[in-house]
Homo-oligomer: A and B are copies of this chain.
Amino acid sequence: LDYQHVQVPFEITLWIMLASLAKIGFHLYNKLPSVVPESCLLIFVGLIMGGIIYGLNDRSPPVMDSDIFFLYLLPPIVLDAGYFMPSRPFFENIGTILLYAVVGTIWNVFGIGFSLYGICQVKSFRLQDVSLLHNLLFGSLIAAVDPVAVLAVFEEIHVNEKLHILVFGESLLNDAVTVVLYKLFRSFCEMPTIKSVDVFAGIGKFFVVGLGGVLVGLSFGFTAAFTTRFTKDIRVIEPLFVFLYSYLSYLTAEMFHLSGIVAIISCAMGMKRYVEANISLKSHTTVKYFMKMWSSVSDTLIFIFLGVSTIGENHEWNWPYICFTVIFCLVWRALGVLVLTFFVNRFHVNTITSKDQFIIAYGGLRGAICFSLVFLLPDFHRKKLFIAATTVVILFTVFVQGMTIRPLVDLLAVKRKRESAPTVGEQIHIRFLDHLLAGIEDISGHWGQYYWKDKLEYFNSKYLQKILLREYDQPKSSIVLLYEKLERKHAMELAQAGQLGHGLAHPSFLCSAFLCSSSDRTVITDQKLEDTPNPDVLDNMQEILARNLYRIRRTGPAYNRHTLPGDSEPTERAKEILILRHKGL
């Protein structure tokens, strides 16, 4: 027996296997996951495993290595989140998200830090040796909402898209703030005196870390898109580039002390559109599937490790400090959301309701990022207290808040996500309205989101597409692209021979379709003659559209991390096809 030789890969494989089997186990009993979130169950499994290890070895089980977490477990989850991020609601609410992520997190850090310092002054608690700086350092790691925990809970409760993106976007983008504040306070702790220059340098760092991350991510994303231009002859390695470049963007950002999370998200969002157009359909399925698989395993492992690491003798149980940490986390977050939303609502027509505010405040779950950061703290005599407090906060938010948020959403009747994707008609009208609003903004001289979106779209079709797409002949009008996409989907899904609907589409529908089809608004105003499609092509297209847009196809909702859209049962489908064919004859 030669165990030493294969130990590393063997144990890694076994851990992943355990995680996957645990997942299967939960899903065998359908009722369990509908009451208790999976994250709680997984932490529970971890606790049991940790208990077993502790019992057998009589020493603390190994804690999750922070390097393993940040280098191997976190990137797949963030990549998945970035790649499947619904870009429209994200960019529509980017201002609000940034406000929550930056100002909100700073508010929480200082709020929690200062009030805990206040608690430390109470003599009977015996905490007078914890300095203000250490409290602020602790605040900086405990204040940040955790994307993994948020995702794990919110994907199961199906709240409306805007609410989801507000909480989830915040949890992703606050990484830049957390990184800066954490490192700043940690270096302050080691400095003898703090000069005001250092504080200003810290503020400057926010922008460097955040914008640097975006820059690194976008450059890797565009390189990835450019690379996939040349993979036509070797389709099998296409999916690799998506993973390699995004991982490189994360590592590069980490190497330069920038925000890796921001980098990988920008990379994924930047490349998605072009990569999808360049790679083959099967490659794309593989990319999507593997991303989901990987993130789901990472996420499972993280929660199990969280459970395992909780067991042991790393903790100093000073209950006043721990209880007040939990209370301050809740109170400062609630206050922050209230105040910030007040300002946000003053500048928006589509306001955030008080129910939504409650869910945003309540959904501020903490998770493995805090946990890894607290273990990365330099050794000092109160580290075990911080570890204990962090553990309790995480368990409290994941178990208590995670388990009660679903009943609360039901009770408050928070607006849910619509189950069906928009129909073709709706999509066309949305696009039409976008053009219209961009025109109105242009005329009124207001540079709003539609103006910028339109400019970006113009820049994209004028320059980026030419460089990054393989088969770039001329800018295809968006309606043709949409039609192609639907047609391809249809071909994949249904082969219902002879079941063509022959009804003509309503004229107004066609009309609006053709208004949009001249893809760029600027085309209409400025370059009418240059870019107008050939009349033959137009006629041809009109006929095809009129005869074939006969059925509104419902596509699956885009969010859930554990299923792919349109993932129905193949045998079901095969059966359906058989029946339809049979009827057709």
Contact = CB atoms under 8 A, between A and B. Distances in A.
A289 B282 contact: yes
A564 B241 contact: no
**Chain A contact residues: helix, strand, loop or mixed:** helix
A286 interface: yes
B293 A237 contact: yes
A25 to B, nearest CB: 9
**Number of contact residues on A: which range applies?**
35 or more
A389 interface: no
**Could you say how many copies of this chain the assembly holds?**
2
Nearest to A4: B255
B239 A289 contact: yes
Interface stretch (A243-251, A328-336, A423-431): A243-251
Interface string A558-578: 000011100101110110011
Contacts of A455: none
Contact of A20 (B241, B285, B498, B585): B241
B495 A491 contact: yes
Contacts of A235: 563-564, 567
Interface string A255-285: 1110000000000000000000000111101
Given A234-B27, A585-B500, A577 B487 contact: yes
B286 A289 contact: yes
A454 interface: no
B547 A585 contact: yes
B578 A544 contact: yes
Contact of A71 (B9, B233, B499): B9
Contacts of A280: 567, 569-570
B239 A290 contact: yes
A490 B498 contact: no
Nearest to A284: B570
A497 interface: yes
Given A241-B20, A293-B239, A547-B585, A6 B570 contact: no
A20 to B, nearest CB: 5
A72 interface: yes
A271 B369 CA distance: 38
A366 to B, nearest CB: 24
Interface in A527-543: 543
A492 interface: yes
Nearest to A494: B495
A318 interface: no
B574 A484 contact: yes
Nearest to A293: B236
A296 B495 contact: no
A10 interface: yes
A323 to B, nearest CB: 36
Contacts of A237: 20, 23-24, 293, 296-297
A506 interface: no
A230 interface: yes
Contacts of A160: none
Nearest to A560: B236
23 contacts: A2-B255, A6-B71, A6-B254, A9-B72, A10-B252, A13-B247, A16-B240, A20-B237, A20-B244, A23-B234, A30-B233, A236-B289, A236-B563, A239-B293, A282-B564, A285-B286, A285-B289, A286-B290, A488-B574, A490-B495, A492-B495, A496-B497, A497-B497
Interface of A: 1-3, 5-6, 9-10, 13-14, 16-17, 20-21, 23-24, 27-28, 30, 67, 71-72, 227, 230-231, 233-237, 239-241, 244, 247-248, 251-252, 254-257, 280-283, 285-286, 289-290, 292-293, 296-297, 471, 484, 487-488, 490-492, 494-500, 502, 543-544, 547-548, 562-564, 567, 569-571, 573-574, 577-578, 581-582, 584-585
| List of 10 A-B pairs having minimum Cβ-Cβ separation, nearest first | A491-B495, A27-B233, A286-B289, A281-B570, A236-B292, A6-B251, A498-B498, A10-B251, A236-B293, A497-B500
